[in-house]
Amino acid sequence: MTLGATGMPENIGFISTRFSGTDGVSLESAKWAEVLWEDRHISYWYAGRLDRAPEISHCVPEAYFHHPDNEWINSHLWGKARRTPAVSRRVRDLTEYLKGTLYDFVNRFELSVLVVQNALTIPMHIPLALAINEFLEETGMHAIGHHHDFYWERVRFQIAAMTDYLDFAFPPRTPTLQHVVINTAAREELAWRKGQSSMLIPNVLNFEKPPPPPDDYSADIRAEIGLGPDDRLILQPTRVVPRKGIEHAITLLKMLKDPRNVLVVSHLAGDEGYEYAKRLRDLAEDEGVRLVFFGDRIREERQLDEDGRKIYTLQDLYCHADLVTFPSIYEGFGNALLEAIYYRRPLVVNRYPVFARDIEPKGFMMAVMDGFVDRQVVVETRRILEDAEYREMMVEHNYKIATRYYGYTVLRESLRKLILNIEKGTF
């Protein structure tokens, strides 16, 4: 578990409950690994669910937050005023087991640095966090904690019979752990609540490598959605959960008063139940807005479904969108915003706190609402849709700014600082 010489490639182990799919943690972790590889650092993966190559993966099913053992523990901790001795024993037993698998992971791949992705941040898996912290305390191994969503940012974690666990491990004050956050507010809260300094590394995209143009495969996607030749694809590229504020996009289309505008939601409903999706359908019908949920035709890879229908990717939707709506009420960062800029799509965005504080001051050009859709937002959106020259100037301007502040160069320089801190013994 000893580090190599300064400047030498490291074997780096990524740890989380899941590295699979298109969630923010999985996507950002893959970007980190890609940039680390430029300096010949080799990444290996530990989680309860994995879609990485088997030869570089260490899958431990009990580390997945939906594993039955962990779900039983969570059901006896969340929303409870106190826990029973039986719950404490179950936590202890699973912690010990997972700690042993961490030793196996590190020894199997001869790892020198660990990167813990959100497992020490949001308490979805208490035993895994405890195991990671105890492992670091026992070994003195250097690690980087990449924190996406702190528990104090979520209402559902305010009542729980695990205050001691939260104080101990979310995140821990382990001397060999460097902290990384994705926005300014998180950096300040971490310092205030835990007395820990951190590096701010925003979410990024590879703006140095522009996306390919639309190809023949996706040429029929508008027709498959049900759009006519003159219709506009107004894309809502998010999950169907209340904090995404999708009702504001419906209000915007109502106030635009143009039947050519069709709101297309990219993701399936169900992450937090189906009631919100039903409310959106009812609202769209009442307001005379055309709303299409297209999530059953969007996956990570192109393919045919069981009925022989073409399955598209989110990239296909971006490439054919006329406008992207992002009226979120809260976001840890806002990957969909960066994606829209990357695919050179114009945006309507709500001033959610992280946008207002960290992103908006960079000078992007967007139609911006401040909690509600007013006449000014409608006028600006209409100009974006109808003035092609203005729209082109806007998206090119945004791409240049994003390349400067949210490109791989920013991530590359930050990761080199983190690794150098370890290799020089300054952390």
Give residue for tokens 């297309």: 264
- Report pLDDT digits (tens) over 353-410: 999 999 999 999 999 999 999 999 999 999 999 999 999 999 999 999 999 999 999 9
Angle at 76 between CA 71 and CA 82, to 5 degrees: 150
Q: How confident is the model at residue 268 (pLDDT cuts 50, 70, 90)?
A: confident
Instruction: Decide yes or no: CATH 3.40.50.2000 for domain 11-204+408-423.
Output: yes
Give 321-375 as a 3 state SS string: CCEEEECCCCCCCCHHHHHHHHCCCCEEEECCHHHHHHHHHHCCCCEEECCCCCH
Q: Residue 158: its pLDDT value, please?
A: 83
* 30 neighbors 335 (Cβ within 8 angstroms): no
pLDDT band for position 245 (cuts 50, 70, 90): very high
Angstrom distance (rounded) from CA 168 to CA 421: 24
- Residue 423: per-residue pLDDT: 83
Report pLDDT for 1: 39
Same topology, domains 11-204+408-423 and 217-405? Answer is: yes
To the nearest whole percent, how much of the chain has pLDDT over 70?
98
Indicate if the pLDDT at residue 342 is higher than 70.
Answer: yes
Q: What is the pLDDT at residue 2?
A: 39
Residue-wise pLDDT for 150-194, tens only, equals 999 887 788 888 999 999 999 999 999 999 999 999 999 999 999
pLDDT exceeds cutoff 80 at 87: yes
The pLDDT tens digits of the residues spanning 100-155 come to 999 999 999 999 999 999 999 999 999 999 999 999 999 999 999 999 989 998 87
Domain 217-405 listed as CATH 1.10.3720.10: no
Distance (Å, rounded) from C-alpha 348 to C-alpha 353? 15
- Select the more confidently predicted residue: 4 or 195: 195
Contact between residue 166 and residue 123 where contact means Cβ atoms under 8 Å apart = yes
Query: Which pLDDT score is estimated for 7?
Result: 61
Does pTM top 0.85 for this prediction? Answer: yes
- Per-residue confidence at 75, pLDDT binned at 50, 70, 90? very high
Domain boundaries, the chain: 11-204+408-423, 217-405
**How confident is the model at residue 22, as a pLDDT?**
72
Separation CA 23–CA 50 (nearest Å): 12
Burial level of 411, CB count in 10 A (0-12/13-18/19+)? buried
Question: Is residue 385 within 8 Å of residue 322, measured between CB atoms?
Answer: yes
Per-residue pLDDT at 5 exceeds 70? no
Give the least confident one: 17-26, 235-244, 253-262, 309-318.
Answer: 17-26
